[in-house]
Structure 1
Amino acid sequence: MKLGLKTQILPADAAAVAEAARCLASGGLVAFPTETVYGLGADAAQGPAVARVYEAKGRPSFNPLIAHVADLASAQAIARFDATALKLTAAFWPGPLTLVLPKTAHCPVAELATAGLDTVALRIPAHPVATALLRAFGGAVVAPSANLSGHVSPTTAAHVASDLSERVDLILDGGAVQVGVESTIVACLDEPMLLRPGGLPREDIERVLGRPLKRLPEDAANDDDKPLAPGMLASHYAPHTPVRLNAVDVAPDEALLAFGPAAVNGGHAAKAVMNLSATGDLAEAAANLFGYLRTLDAKGARAIAVMRVPQHGLGEAINDRLRRAAIGR
């Protein structure tokens, strides 16, 4: 890739969305907001454009990408939906749920985007800018998080520019995102299986299905050689500063990522303190997670000490991201 591209950052109005759709059609890269995080978009059908996404992110080419579409009819041209998959789409699309499904015979998504698998990851995002862009473009758009691979995911246009300025053609600035963690990924290939916790709590999905989701074995969940879905590399979402989990105390040269009203030993003397949610609200914590990690990463601390976050609801997704961040770079 030629670095030094002149990256446009435009307020996400109708004119900018139209310009972004033209950019995608010409093989360009467009970062845009979804309700989960900002995505780095390219035409899913153009192999060279998909290759630019991997190159811009420094992303391993074996890691598959999610294809974003505007509606169910577009999704059904790409993948085969069984009754279970259709039940989930009726309940949760548009929204922060990605389904991994068998490809159709004439799936238009480039092989590079599916990492050579027989399956494809699909989602209909629930964000007005994403919806407008997908409708204006008229095709599927692959859009992993718009950050350098393995780094903290972006929840504002400024985060995207910090990582990818001069690597992408255009950034649509739609303000801060609402959910703040990536989509939940469920495979509908046999029995529905949770591949990645995310912005849709597992409990909500199980309530619709009327049964528990299967769990991926731990060795498969962290298989860096052949991940089954996006966001499954063992080390992922990582700041440059080391992350220490389940902290009950903090040293003066550490930053503290707190949660809830409880204090920790040494918290008053920490190099920096940010609280994901002082009231213990998991939705607020998810929305703040990546932005706060980025802010603390810039404080020059020896480590980021993270207080315990409950495992239920959105806490499952928050803890998944923190665990992968703590593995390191």
Structure 2
Amino acid sequence: MIHVGILKGIAILLIVAFHICGQIYHSEPKWFRLLSYQGVPVFFLLSGIGLTYSVLSKNFGDKKINHWGKWYLKRSIRILPLYWLILFITFSLYFIDLNIIRIAVSQQSEKALLDFVVHFFLINIYFEETYFSINVAWWFLATIVHFYLLFPFIFSVYKHKINRIPSVVLVIVFYYLNKNYHFINNQIALSFMYFFLGIILSFINTTKFYNYIKKYSLVLVLSLFFLSIFFLCSLRGNISNYFPKYTYELFSLSFTSFLYVSSHLLVYIQPLRKVNYFLESIGSYSYALFLVHWGFIYPIINYFDTTQVGIMVYLVFVLSLSKLLTIIDKKTTSLLMIKTKLSV
């Protein structure tokens, strides 16, 4: 699915832009922050789509529990080794020289070690003080891993048609109950909605769905684009008074949908094939880029006094490092898959 690679590339570039502008240019326009942050829900959406598609294509949803055990092991091999490696390197660089890498961690060694342990086991999202610690972007990984743990249960329930409408209602109620409870609860609940939406999309007849998008792609893209602009403007104007509680959610859903449909449309635009190749290439090492990009923003860009040169040097560095780490990770993953007798 070429459009998935393109969408991954778009999403990770949005996230990198969000963190660069947020950490360097504190007075950047609110509209840009809102737009660039939507790379996050796109990744939750893609995770739901990818997991469901992989299970449906192999048709092992009704088989014995040991198949889910192998499924968990396979996902763990693909996610954890690279994360643990970068976590260890991040901590090592931090204690060698505080200026080498940006890290949000306690100056007290005992608490720093506890921070490391909490992140090692990906339970940092359970505690407010560790939610954004070490690396402010890593809350996403801890959250998505928890969704992975829940996925077999969600899939087993949703695959039965009789459960689908009640499941959707429960997810919406879950979000509503958490919306005003706490920022962290709200963020996780909204992320789960996008993950669940990805599962729903994967159960739709693939051929008919893609043909529909292809046929009406231009109309859908333009409609979703203007709808996104409307909700974006309403977040800053008086229009939001008519639906103040859900303006952001409506904007996020419309803009994420715009990106999703646009990725399908880009595949068929021949003059943009080089752009598509670039985005797909970025998407192929988006996981490594996600893990490393935040830590190097301050030391590299600030060295050049936040000039355009500094930003370019930073981008070249993190993109090159991410590509190298992805190559290493793929070889490591292949070896581990062979050792555990799993298919790559």
Q: Which has the larger radius of gyration?
A: 2
Bin the TM-score by the shorter chain.
Answer: under 0.3
Give the TM-score taking structure 1 as reference length: 0.25
Give the TM-score taking structure 2 as reference length: 0.24
Higher relative contact order (CA 8 A, sep 6+): 2
| Structure with a larger share of its residues in strand | 1
| Structure with a larger share of its residues in helix | 2
